[in-house]
Structure 1
Amino acid sequence: MAKKKFKDLGTGAKIGVVVLSAAQLALQGAALKDLKERPAAQVKGPKILWFGLSFMNFAGPCAYFLIGRRK
């Protein structure tokens, strides 16, 4: 099966890709900003680990916000 290029997608699919990409970047940016500003004592585990995990699509930043932070 040949991979489709962005130019070969329909309008709806292109919009979906752009919206999901923007959401991913915003979520990752928020996670990285929070990691930078939050003291290490308020993060569960090493901050460098969460930094790396934040680059795993939606799963990394979501995991950080759900289980990586202390209250």
Structure 2
Amino acid sequence: MAKKWAELGTAQRAVVIALGAVQLSLAASAWADLATRSREEINGSKRTWAAVIAVNFVGPLSYFRWGRRKAA
């Protein structure tokens, strides 16, 4: 059963906050990168990648791995 925020210890709260910050940083970086690239530099639809990036850690990491085309 999931614990409520009030039931977490100080260290557990710190870990949750740190992981949340990492997740938001990854997503913000991926969205910023996506916004600055042309359609030709993206594998697939920019709209689809924008939605995928919103999925936890998996989305931004997937975008950085498979969403961007390699420079020639």
TM-score, L = length of structure 1: 0.94
Higher alpha-carbon deviation: 61-70 or 3-12: 3-12
Alignment of 1:16-35 (within 5 A): 16-35=15-34
Q: State the percentage of identical aligned residues.
A: 41
SS of the residue corresponding to residue 57 of structure 1 reads coil
Return 5+ residue gaps in structure 2 as ranges.
Answer: none
- Taking the aligned partners of 1:50 and 1:68, their CA distance within structure 2 comes to 7
After TM superposition, the runs of 4+ consecutive aligned structure 1 residues lying more than 3 A away are none
TM-score, L = length of structure 2: 0.93
AA of the residue aligned to 1:49: T
- Taking the aligned partners of 1:7 and 1:66, their CA distance within structure 2 comes to 37
- Taking the aligned partners of 1:70 and 1:4, their CA distance within structure 2 comes to 42
Deviations 1:5-63 (A, max 9, x none): 11210111100000000000000000000000011100000000000001100000000
- Taking the aligned partners of 2:5 and 2:31, their CA distance within structure 1 comes to 28
The number of residues matched between the two structures is 70
AA of the residue aligned to 2:16: V
> For the aligned residues, what is the CA RMSD?
0.8
Are 1:65 and 2:71 matched, yes or no?
A: no
